[in-house]
Structure 1
Amino acid sequence: MAPMKTALFVFLQWVLQYALCRDVTLPPGDLYRVGGFPLSLPCAVSGYEGPRTQDFEWFLYRDDAGGRQMGVVSTRDKSFPYAPYLARVRNGEVRVERDSGDKVRLLIQRLRPDDQGKYECYTPSTDSTYQGNYSATVTVKVMPDTLQISYSHFLTGQPMPEGAELTLTCSASIHSEQLTHLSIMFGKRGGREVSGSGVGRAVSTIREIISIDKLLGVVPGRLYKTRYDDGEITLEKRNGEDGQGVYVMKMKAVQPDDTGSYFCEASQWIRDPDRSWQKIAQRTLDIGNLTVQQLAESLSVKSSPKGGVTLQVGSPLILTCEVLGLPSEVNSGLLVQWMKRGSVSSGVIGTGGVEVEVARMSPGGVVSWGDDLSRATSGSMEKVAEGRYTLKLFSARPSDAGVYRCVVSVYAGRRNPAPSTPATLTQRSEGVIVSLKTEDVQVAAVAQLPRGPLLKRGSTVTLICNITVTTSGPALAQVQWLRWPIPAPVLKKGQSPASVTPPDSPVVEKPRLVAGLMYDGVANIFANGSEVSVDRLSAVSYRLRVHAATMDDQGLYACHVEAWGQNPHGDWYNTGVKAESNTVTIYLYARAADLLLIPLVVGVSSALFVGIVIIAAVTCCFMKRLARQRARK
């Protein structure tokens, strides 16, 4: 048993010693880097004893030094560097930076050709026993700098109108014996930063616009992804002279936020033996400054005739919309709308009602009309010149009165924008007040119930509407019948239900449209439980009949009258003058048959009950007497 414990103890000690074996690691080589650009060599130590912060010393074995060791830099000894590196270490060009206590990296800010060779990372021992490896080496090859970059057009800072197209061209090339890749990035510096006091100050904020990465994939910047997805920003590679790659970036429509200083950045990449990509060279070329002039500073929208216009009913109405200050070099789409607020029916022109669209012309030239589709055949909207649009109503109606405004939405740099594309800018013109001279028209209406027998369920209810239209010209009336439900009676203190009379005017409740007779004689019957008919008895008398009326036809009835006039062209129009009659209350009484039904049912039921009781009593007595006679026998 004892030999087994001894063997187990020795085995565990060996495993523990192996687990704590010191190990120093560097990236696998050879590593190829470009002269004049930084070198970063990470070095890590593990399996050590002692403090967690370890020291590191770097040595270089130059190819031309016959394998002699040269001290580069140390974390514990300031006098460690040899003469060729002493000045570079003191000015910080060569230094060691710690990632953690046991991980550091050697940084050489600008590689020189004589920095080529084998680098050794050595860690002085802090272990109780000397075991494992205390250093690691890697070979670094210094390649010549062949990265070239140039531009073909320099931005002078002259203002460019919002929506104009911006094209930037950058050429780049590399000539390397090793397999390296080239990436190109277009970026912008500029912007504003708001301090804690709320005062904005200019800062150098860098935005990546778009790039072609090391694997030749096009990658938009985070803030430009939406514009790239919409096709407004593109980047393509073309073949230039002497093997140079020509990279062309286009912004189809610049925005105010695009103001800034532009640059092109070319980077050279190589894939190390550990399969990781490393940037080994980079150059940035300033292309110049861009200033975007906002469209709002120059655009204006005017409508005419200025102020207002007064027309006779039936006269043509012509309104003009002019768009000024639109840059001619910018290919922009325009959405032009004519909006109207107020009408004769609102009482005060320009203050009543909701602003509605009369007509619009899309950027593609398609004209569409608002709610009044009849205007499609009695009006037109045209583009008569660049930036000049007209709205024509061939025969003005009283309902056309109001305040008209031209609303223009500009899609800067987008001739045919998608329906979901937001407008760059929307501006409204001053209002044009359109007034129409109409003839003096007066309308009155009186509703009445003709004398006759009491109205009963199933009877025909007849209502008469007598109207009066006073005007100097031709006129017609349009009559509609309205019905309100009978309001519940309100009992006053000491008043009996029989003495309650219904109110003379309907309660505040939306009426139900029963029927109507249009000015041209067309009858409209709306949803109703009974059969309804309307007709005109004379020029001033209209009749409503409800056939076979039911209890649902009870209510308060009134007639609504609108006057229609005739313009000089012979067309009829709604004058906007209207009147509503008094209300007539319709009650339906029960029929005689309905009144006799209940007594008849009660009488028959009572007779049947009495008859059954009598028969039952007689039968019972007879049976008892018969039973007694049989018992005597």
Structure 2
Amino acid sequence: MRKPAMAMKTALFVFLLYVLHCAVCRDVTLPTGPLYRVAGFPLSLPCVVSGYEGPRTQDFEWFLYRDDSGGRQMGVVSTRDKGFPYAPFQARVRNGEVRVERDSGEAVRLVIQRLRAEDQGNYECYTPSTDTVYQGNYSNMVTVKVIPDTLQISYSRALTGQPVPEGAMLTLTCSGSIRSQQLTHLSITFGKRGGGDSSGSGAGGEVSTVREIISIDKMLGIVPGHSYKKRYDDGEITLEKRNGEGGQGVYVMRMKAVRPDDSGSYFCEASQWILDPDRSWQKIAQRMLDIGNLTVQQLAESLSITSSPRGEVTLQVGSPLILTCEVLGLPSEVNSGLLVQWMKRGSVRSDAVVAGGVEVEVARMSTDGIVSWGDDLSRANGGSMEKVAEGKYSLKLFSARPVDTGVYRCVVSVYAGRSNPGSSTPATLTQKSEGVIVNLKTKDVAVSAVAQLPRGPLLKRGNTITLICNATVKTTGPAQVQVQWLRWPIPEPVIRGSVSDGAPPDPPVVETPRLIAALMHDGVVNIHSNGSEVSVDRLSAISYRLRVHQAAIEDQGMYACHAEVWGQDPHGGWYYTGVKAESNALNVYLYARAGDLLLIPLVVGVSSALFVGIIIIATVTCCFMNRLAKQRARK
């Protein structure tokens, strides 16, 4: 029973030694065949050796067994022997058309730059031995089939190089086809050379680059180039396939709005692909066709914005104000969206425009023709903005007011090639017109305001404070006064340091006045006080009264009135003339009431009486006790 067991152990040991020994045997690996490649295009055969001994850099020899050679071996190229190639390959090896490219010490490639029909056959990769023991696989073979070139490519219209306006649509059409007995796929790529970086601002950059714009790959998927992905996602670049005559595929690429950096030389590239036995896709043929040069003319070179009337305009208050904006230099063949805005900068003064200030939007017309008004929404009913002709826009204010005085500019944002841009789409170009100065002649207006505190008894807490504001207006035509009453605390000087050091006292701290009430020009009263009851009325044509009922301590302070003059335009509308006056300030102090004044002597009197009574009682008691003590002593 022991001998069979020993025999089995010996056999297992020998098998393990054999497996271990074979694990380090030399092995040469080639791609799995057959490989189909196209005549006239490159062939690249990788060969890798492993499990070898000796130097890390191995030598390789390539042989060809042609289909018509009857199994005879033909030397192609060697890494160690320049005289290795047979006659049919000697010239091709010398000029580099047939060569060995080394990927590493143990991996090389046989490269045939342009395959010929007679290159079809079985290729053997042989590695001369550097091992101490000759074991393993020293060569391997793969079958290469050379198929005819049937890849065709053409275009329908070439680019002429004539300048194309910025924003114009670019359409390129390329046709391609393959007629092969093998199952191969076709891919089409549109690309561009030159023009600098796709994100740059100019055309014709000095750095010549080749960029893929968009492709239909071998699996019929659309793949945008890296620099064009955002434009593809935004729908600005499209590619579609159509069926053409004779089985050809027609591929149409469109750029909806070309940019200056789209300038350059355009090409179309067709590639033939095949699926090798190892399930990898290989490009076996490729053909490129130049379509022509594109030059994009920048919009900034032709666009101009003008506004009319030019210079300065002076109008009477109430007259209509009409401003016109004209956009010139837009290419007629480009359908562009326009955002037109009227902006105003300046402030009103009684006699002229005061320059400066913040520029505000008066009105705008969006690319889809919708008009919206700026800060002063009330003008929506008193004006209009219209497109009167192609590229011509008008702003009308039916009845101009002094507040409309200022410097007006027309601002136009052009979305070249995009008639309805999205809200996040940046404008291609934005330009402003020259400023139009608008002055309004107002009536000569003068106003004065005087605040009065009517004579009477001293004001006490709980009384009614009455203040009179007399506002006198000198002007022609109808006018109304708008009166505001304001109050702020009486400033109290803060003494800094002692009197002896000679330091002057700090100036009084003046607080911001608080609006108490207002009588508007249309007779509406607005009360802004949150404390005491307040009323405002008009006593006469020039006299206005403020009353604070049941006045509390917080109602005392400095009071003043502000008068603003409003005029009436020929259409009956009221407008602020910009003329105002501030009255003198009145000090209002509230004294204590009579009942409050009697409280102090009452408290003092009661306290004094109690104090005197206690003293008298204490004195009487003390005397009585002394006399009683004396009487007891006598007994």
Same fold (TM over 0.5): yes
Decide which of 470, 488, 493 is 1:466's aligned counterpart: 470
Contact 1:350/1:403, CA 8 A, preserved across alignment:
no
Compared with structure 1, are the counterparts of its residues 540 and 78 closer, same or farther at alpha carbon in structure 2 (3 Å cutoff)? same
Q: How does 1:26-105 map to 2 (within 5 A)?
A: 26-105=30-109
Report the Cα offset of residue 220 of structure 1. Answer: 1.0
Quick one: which amino acid aligns to residue 293 of structure 1? Q
Decide which of 334, 338, 360 is 2:338's aligned counterpart: 334
Q: How does 1:63-212 map to 2 (within 5 A)?
A: 63-192=67-196, 202-212=206-216
Contact 2:177/2:247, CA 8 A, preserved across alignment:
yes
Quick one: distance in 2 between partners of 1:485 and 1:585?
9
SS at match of 2:306: strand
Compared with structure 1, are the counterparts of its residues 42 and 486 closer, same or farther at alpha carbon in structure 2 (3 Å cutoff)? farther
Quick one: distance in 2 between partners of 1:64 and 1:356?
88
Quick one: distance in 1 between partners of 2:609 and 2:33?
123
Report the Cα offset of residue 439 of structure 1. Answer: 1.0
Report the Cα offset of residue 547 of structure 1. Answer: 2.7
Quick one: distance in 1 between partners of 2:17 and 2:263?
70
Q: Does 1:581 align with 2:583?
A: yes
Quick one: which amino acid aligns to residue 409 of structure 1? S
Decide which of 7, 14, 24 is 2:28's aligned counterpart: 24
Quick one: distance in 2 between partners of 1:462 and 1:187?
86
Compared with structure 1, are the counterparts of its residues 603 and 206 closer, same or farther at alpha carbon in structure 2 (3 Å cutoff)? farther
Contact 1:343/1:398, CA 8 A, preserved across alignment:
no
Compared with structure 1, are the counterparts of its residues 538 and 59 closer, same or farther at alpha carbon in structure 2 (3 Å cutoff)? same
Decide which of 557, 565, 568 is 1:566's aligned counterpart: 568
Compared with structure 1, are the counterparts of its residues 4 and 159 closer, same or farther at alpha carbon in structure 2 (3 Å cutoff)? same
In structure 2, runs of 5+ residues without a counterpart are: 1-5, 198-203, 614-635
In the other structure, the counterpart of 1:520 is 522
In structure 1, runs of 5+ residues without a counterpart are: 194-199, 612-633
Decide which of 533, 536, 544 is 2:535's aligned counterpart: 533
Contact 2:373/2:380, CA 8 A, preserved across alignment:
yes
Quick one: which amino acid aligns to residue 61 of structure 1? Y
Quick one: which amino acid aligns to residue 164 of structure 1? A
Contact 2:172/2:252, CA 8 A, preserved across alignment:
yes
- TM-score of the superposition, structure 2-length normalised? 0.88
Contact 1:185/1:208, CA 8 A, preserved across alignment:
yes
Count of matched residue pairs: 599
Quick one: distance in 1 between partners of 2:171 and 2:417?
14
Quick one: distance in 2 between partners of 1:593 and 1:14?
127
In the other structure, the counterpart of 2:624 is none
Report the Cα offset of residue 484 of structure 1. Answer: 3.0
- TM-score of the superposition, structure 1-length normalised? 0.88
Quick one: distance in 1 between partners of 2:480 and 2:76?
109
Contact 1:119/1:137, CA 8 A, preserved across alignment:
yes
In the other structure, the counterpart of 1:547 is 549
Quick one: distance in 2 between partners of 1:368 and 1:39?
67
SS at match of 2:431: strand
Report the Cα offset of residue 165 of structure 1. Answer: 0.9
In the other structure, the counterpart of 2:225 is 221
**Range 433-442 or range 580-589, more displaced:** 580-589
Contact 2:263/2:295, CA 8 A, preserved across alignment:
yes
Q: How does 1:283-298 map to 2 (within 5 A)?
A: 283-298=287-302
In the other structure, the counterpart of 1:631 is none
What is the CA RMSD across the aligned residues, in angstroms? 3.1
Contact 1:487/1:502, CA 8 A, preserved across alignment:
no
- Once the two structures are superposed, what CA deviation does each residue of 1:427-470 show, in whole Å capped at 9, x if it has no partner? 11111111111111112222233334444444433332221211
**Range 48-57 or range 151-160, more displaced:** 48-57
Quick one: distance in 2 between partners of 1:600 and 1:59?
136
- Once the two structures are superposed, what CA deviation does each residue of 1:248-306 show, in whole Å capped at 9, x if it has no partner? 01111111111111110111111111111111111110000111111111111111111
Report the Cα offset of residue 307 of structure 1. Answer: 0.9
Report the Cα offset of residue 347 of structure 1. Answer: 7.7
Report the Cα offset of residue 230 of structure 1. Answer: 1.2
Decide which of 379, 383, 394 is 2:387's aligned counterpart: 383
Quick one: distance in 2 between partners of 1:71 and 1:596?
136
Quick one: distance in 1 between partners of 2:479 and 2:492?
40
In the other structure, the counterpart of 2:435 is 431
Quick one: distance in 2 between partners of 1:516 and 1:217?
73
Decide which of 341, 347, 357 is 1:353's aligned counterpart: 357
Quick one: which amino acid aligns to residue 74 of structure 1? S
Quick one: distance in 2 between partners of 1:530 and 1:205?
80
Quick one: which amino acid aligns to residue 138 of structure 1? V
In the other structure, the counterpart of 2:273 is 269
- Once the two structures are superposed, what CA deviation does each residue of 1:518-576 show, in whole Å capped at 9, x if it has no partner? 10100112252332222222221222223333444344332222101112222211101
Report the Cα offset of residue 357 of structure 1. Answer: 1.0
Contact 2:519/2:536, CA 8 A, preserved across alignment:
yes
Compared with structure 1, are the counterparts of its residues 588 and 118 closer, same or farther at alpha carbon in structure 2 (3 Å cutoff)? farther
Quick one: distance in 2 between partners of 1:382 and 1:173?
54
Q: How does 1:305-324 map to 2 (within 5 A)?
A: 305-324=309-328
Report the Cα offset of residue 162 of structure 1. Answer: 0.8
Quick one: which amino acid aligns to residue 358 of structure 2? V
- Once the two structures are superposed, what CA deviation does each residue of 1:346-392 show, in whole Å capped at 9, x if it has no partner? 98625132111111111111111111122111111111111111111
Compared with structure 1, are the counterparts of its residues 80 and 567 closer, same or farther at alpha carbon in structure 2 (3 Å cutoff)? same
SS at match of 2:548: strand
Quick one: which amino acid aligns to residue 531 of structure 2? G
In the other structure, the counterpart of 2:487 is 483
Quick one: distance in 1 between partners of 2:178 and 2:606?
119
Quick one: distance in 2 between partners of 1:411 and 1:538?
61
SS at match of 1:202: coil
SS at match of 1:396: coil
Report the Cα offset of residue 98 of structure 1. Answer: 1.4
Contact 1:346/1:353, CA 8 A, preserved across alignment:
no
SS at match of 1:334: strand
Q: Percent identity?
A: 81
Q: Does 1:230 align with 2:234?
A: yes
Quick one: distance in 1 between partners of 2:440 and 2:14?
114
Quick one: distance in 1 between partners of 2:542 and 2:64?
118
Report the Cα offset of residue 188 of structure 1. Answer: 0.7
Contact 1:486/1:502, CA 8 A, preserved across alignment:
no
Quick one: distance in 2 between partners of 1:86 and 1:606?
142
Compared with structure 1, are the counterparts of its residues 208 and 72 closer, same or farther at alpha carbon in structure 2 (3 Å cutoff)? same
SS at match of 1:374: helix
Quick one: distance in 2 between partners of 1:317 and 1:350?
19
Quick one: which amino acid aligns to residue 181 of structure 1? H
Quick one: distance in 2 between partners of 1:546 and 1:55?
112
